[in-house]
Amino acid sequence: MLDSSLVERLIEAAIHAPSSHNTQPWKFEVRGDRVRLHADRTRALPVNDPDGRELVISCGCALMNLRAAAASEGFGTSVATTPDTQVDDALAEVSFSGKPDKALATLAKAIALRRTFRKRFAGRGVPDDIVKSLQAAAEDEGAWLLPLQSAETRNAAGALVVEGARLQWADPSWRRELARWMRPRHSGDGLTLPWLVAPLARIVVRTFDMGSSVGAKDRELAINSPLLAVLGTAGDGVADRLAAGQALERVLLAAASVGLQASYLNEPVQVALLRPKLADLCGHGGRPQCLLRLGYTEDDVPMAPRRPFTQVLVR
């Protein structure tokens, strides 16, 4: 049996993972001396993420945090993926034995430091050796991280971001879904807004197509990011997506541990029509899963809210 205070620490670390729209679409079931990770599809985004790709990636991020936290507590982990997907949306089962992975134990320190940083980054570039270490972090989890370096590929990625924002915002059901997840901080989930402006902002997002201004801003952020990179996997099945999530969080933790933060320009991955175009731009083979910008930050952003771990823990 796993000690209950250890379980609490592991789940607490896991739920600090990033998730699409901060939906936190996960549940953790303690089964004797193992922990099962389930997808919580009641928290899905049917318009933005119709086949639950980002939902599984988000769960993969939580799984990475859990593995890193276990390593920092002195445990090795082994993960059996998709043991029972058909039955109860179980994605993975973690058992705890053997020697802890030192690299993961080190990364655990960055769990509390990582944030999605949507503002402009400091002008400083990301040194090549750090870029290589982030690529290695993705590869350790069976994924790839491809920097978009030339002005030509950045401009092409920027154009896809503009097109993606245009298509998303033009769809009233996409706007309604985004507005539904815009919440005051005390909700413990969603995209946080001060409680006074929350109702107004929701109405604005629901009502107005802001695709051209969002697209122009995101294009500018893409083109000028210190590091713009696509994270991808060979395939696009559940196991690939779970691997993508673990790789994404491993990259983000490795980045945060050297003072870098990231945010997402995912429009060209989220809009099905544009994903093959982003894949062509990468010329890598396989499937893009996230378009990320990374850089050094000049100020802090507060941690996004989380639901208490008791809400996601099934004993």
Ligand X SMILES: Cc1cc2nc3c(=O)[nH]c(=O)nc-3n(C[C@H](O)[C@H](O)[C@H](O)COP(=O)(O)O)c2cc1C
Name residue 44's amino acid: A
Which single residue brings its beta carbon nearest to ligand X?
18
Looking at the Cβ atoms of 58 and 77, the one nearer to ligand X is 58
Strand (E) or helix (H) holding 26: strand 26-31
Q: Contact 134/230 with Cβ under 8 angstroms?
A: no
Least separation, in Å, of the C-beta of 258 and ligand X?
Answer: 18
Looking at the Cβ atoms of 35 and 248, the one nearer to ligand X is 248
Least separation, in Å, of the C-beta of 300 and ligand X?
Answer: 11
Looking at the Cβ atoms of 15 and 282, the one nearer to ligand X is 15
Least separation, in Å, of the C-beta of 118 and ligand X?
Answer: 6
Residue 32 CB burial class (10 angstroms; 0-12, 13-18, ≥19): exposed
Least separation, in Å, of the C-beta of 3 and ligand X?
Answer: 27
Q: Contact 64/229 with Cβ under 8 angstroms?
A: no
Residues facing 263 on adjacent strands: 293
Least separation, in Å, of the C-beta of 156 and ligand X?
Answer: 19
Give buried/exposed letters for 154-183 (b at 16+ CB in 10 A, else e): bebbbbbbbbbbbbbbeeeebbebbbebbb
Rg (CA), the chain: 19
Q: Contact 48/58 with Cβ under 8 angstroms?
A: no
Least separation, in Å, of the C-beta of 97 and ligand X?
Answer: 29
Residues facing 184 on adjacent strands: 193
Looking at the Cβ atoms of 26 and 75, the one nearer to ligand X is 26
Looking at the Cβ atoms of 54 and 141, the one nearer to ligand X is 54
Looking at the Cβ atoms of 2 and 209, the one nearer to ligand X is 209
Interface with ligand X by CB under 6 A: which residues?
A: 18-22, 54, 57-58, 61, 115-116, 118, 191, 263-264, 266, 304
